[in-house]
Homo-oligomer: A and B are copies of this chain.
């Protein structure tokens, strides 16, 4: 399953999404807006989890945030990096480096790490163990940073 996700993500980045083949393919600007939005939802969930592991812990909220994170990680974000979206403006100019579109193997590896740790966080969140969630949240954060360092320009 993990390897399959990695493949799906890599394939999504390497090739155009076939989903919209029968219909008008969304404009590159729309895809960029959607991907910028997806990462903002991840940021929201991350902020909530951070607040919980550093302060008063609400298991239900952490579960919701972790499940949402995992579902987005598993949602096939690669399709939002379709050819044609190398440059352009969604909510703002894309901050993706051109290298992302040229190295599907590396992207697949980093994306696979992200998916794996996000799914693990959802499992750990279900236990309600604050310390374990804090540790796993750290592991997830490392996979975010690794990809940003490689493929994201500074805002």
Tell me whether A74 and B68 are in contact in the complex, defined as CB-CB below 8 angstroms, given that A22-B56, A37-B41 are known contacts.
Answer: yes
Task: Give every chain B residue within 8 A of A64 (Cβ-Cβ).
Answer: 74-76
Assess whether A19 is in contact with B48, with CB atoms less than 8 Å apart. yes
The chain B residue with its CB closest to the CB of A56 is B22
Assess whether A67 is in contact with B61, with CB atoms less than 8 Å apart. no
* A: contact size bracket: 35 or more
The chain B residue with its CB closest to the CB of A48 is B19
Instruction: For the complex formed, measure the closest distance between the CB of A10 and the CB atoms of chain B, giving whole angstroms.
Output: 15
Q: Interface on A for B, CB 8 Å cutoff?
A: 8, 18-23, 26, 33-34, 36-38, 40-41, 43-45, 47-48, 51-52, 54-56, 58, 60-61, 64-65, 67-68, 70-72, 74-76, 79-80, 91
